[in-house]
Chains A and B, each alone.
Chain A
């Protein structure tokens, strides 16, 4: 007699018997004998056609009968046969009821539909820069249901951002942009994954970060980073949806996008083989930008990201779009791959990331550490009655909420008011949390050569915590 080992879930159909003796023959005979003696087993072992169910495995000794003679595998008198249920499952691959309701207006568009929406859910997009362009890009991609969004930014939210960076509000001033962005986006769409990188993208980390994603959206504001993002995207074979803005003008394109033909389209280096001389093209921080412009251009960038992911429509690959807000004119140029492109032309000379600051002619100057003073030390100064000047670089509405007797000179006006700042005694500068005051000190040191400025560590909030807890925190 051969032995059949019945798995635990099926034992209730065999009078709780784990081991059954059956006659010799083939596996087919064994199964017939079992289902004859225990009719309830039948529907668990055999399908409607009388064949062994796909999720039932039968082992002879330690071999699956699929690797032997299937049902014809012979059963000797000492054979041990194990019935092994396939244990499998998984989470729903489609959408939950809530997601279906949320994405309904996408799903009902002819030519978009469930298929495109599923592609969005499966997509991983890295948005580099969460400022003016990043704000609409992130908001729309998150709302659209892009399954995984990575955000790279090193900066903290500043008052001067709020004129265009609609991701942030006044409560976030002084906080890291990526964290503020994550909070806002998570509250907009809880069905997506957000990954944040509170860091400068550089030649050391770019490949590792970008490698994880399917599509890159470059919303950076400087040339070294644009070349860096471009080269990393080309080296890793990722499409790079590019946009930039300045004053009243915006540009959009899709770089390194493999269309149906399979050849990657032109990239940033085909359009701009060499960077402009340093200082020739000012950044938005220096030259300004109309607040609504990144809203327009960033939305176009989000649109192209969605088209790249879903394959719906024709992308801007091989084309370059310019929008002039002042005259309300749009132009689209064709761009072609250049044979002398150093990354993917005929004779590539760049096979790994290079030093992009150097390439763009600007060596970053190592920032010297600021002189700092803690809240306790400031208090000691006050108690000792030592002569010093206290300057508050926050905005008047913040000053009205709470102040510690500092002279109010908002950050934006610090340069024109430099004359009010003492040069011959200790000057302590503070803001809410220490970010804006650090900027003020750097500016004053750089432009006027001050050497007596001290940043209040942790700003007025720290002072309230440590010295005067009865004051209002905001």
Chain B
């Protein structure tokens, strides 16, 4: 299960909508509880480094990746994963996503349909190198 704090969720959606019809991308930071529940506390928005069609592809530059690892270290957070948007496509990982996917990372996909309908889903790679959906918890204030 992954918990995305509401302001963080807003930031991601804002990035996805502002970048539409291109794909946006960035990193997820937070902590992992002993039961495996992940809590996303902050994100780092990075540029879509892909040359060519950014409406269908994203790529994060290695320099941005190293920055993200350092960012996690500086804040004593864990780099939990990556988010990106699927403009006008469902929030389901594509074959491109699967091929390049890293183990352990949560892949949050934001589907933006005609720049207005937003759906968020999160995915994790299993041992067979296939994606399994990771439930996004409804955030509750306690």
A and B bind: yes
Could you tell me if A89 and B104 are in contact, using CB atoms closer than 8 angstroms?
Answer: no
**A296–chain B nearest beta-carbon distance, Å:** 32
Known: A8-B104, A8-B105, A12-B104. A89 touches B62 (CB 8 A): no
Could you tell me if A86 and B114 are in contact, using CB atoms closer than 8 angstroms?
Answer: no
Closest to B73 in A: A18
- A109-130 Cβ-contact flags toward B at 8 Å (1 or 0): 0000000000000000000000
Complex Cα distance, B90 from A8, in Å, reads: 28
Chain A CB within 8 A of B19 CB:
no
Closest to B92 in A: A92
Could you tell me if B86 and A91 are in contact, using CB atoms closer than 8 angstroms?
Answer: yes
Chain A residues whose CB sits within 8 angstroms of the CB of B87 once the complex forms = 91
- B59-95 Cβ-contact flags toward A at 8 Å (1 or 0): 1101101100100100000110010101111100111
For chain A, residues 59 to 109, give those with C-beta under 8 angstroms from any C-beta of chain B: 59, 62, 64, 82, 84-93, 96
Chain B residues whose CB sits within 8 angstroms of the CB of A55 once the complex forms = 99-100
Chain A residues whose CB sits within 8 angstroms of the CB of B121 once the complex forms = none
Closest to B26 in A: A87
Chain A CB within 8 A of B118 CB:
no
Known: A59-B62, A89-B93, A91-B94. A10 touches B56 (CB 8 A): no
Chain B residues whose CB sits within 8 angstroms of the CB of A89 once the complex forms = 57-58, 84, 93-94, 96-97, 100-101, 107
Complex Cα distance, B99 from A85, in Å, reads: 12
Known: A8-B78, A12-B103. A87 touches B56 (CB 8 A): no
Q: How large is the interface on A (under 10, 10 to 19, 20 to 34, 35 or more residues)?
A: 20 to 34
Complex Cα distance, B114 from A55, in Å, reads: 32
Could you tell me if B100 and A82 are in contact, using CB atoms closer than 8 angstroms?
Answer: no
Chain A CB within 8 A of B25 CB:
yes
Chain A residues whose CB sits within 8 angstroms of the CB of B57 once the complex forms = 88-90
Could you tell me if B94 and A64 are in contact, using CB atoms closer than 8 angstroms?
Answer: no
Chain A CB within 8 A of B102 CB:
yes
Chain A CB within 8 A of B135 CB:
no
Name A7's contact: one of B69, B93, B100 (CB within 8 Å). B69
Chain A CB within 8 A of B23 CB:
yes
26 of the cross-chain contacts (CB-CB < 8 Å) are A8-B78, A8-B79, A9-B103, A10-B102, A10-B104, A12-B103, A44-B103, A55-B100, A57-B62, A59-B62, A84-B62, A84-B66, A85-B65, A85-B102, A86-B100, A87-B60, A87-B100, A87-B102, A88-B60, A89-B84, A90-B96, A91-B23, A91-B88, A92-B89, A92-B94, A92-B95
Can you name 12 extra interface pairs (CB under 8 A) apart from A89-B97, A90-B84, A96-B90?
Answer: A7-B65, A7-B69, A11-B104, A55-B99, A59-B62, A84-B65, A87-B100, A88-B57, A89-B58, A90-B94, A92-B89, A93-B56
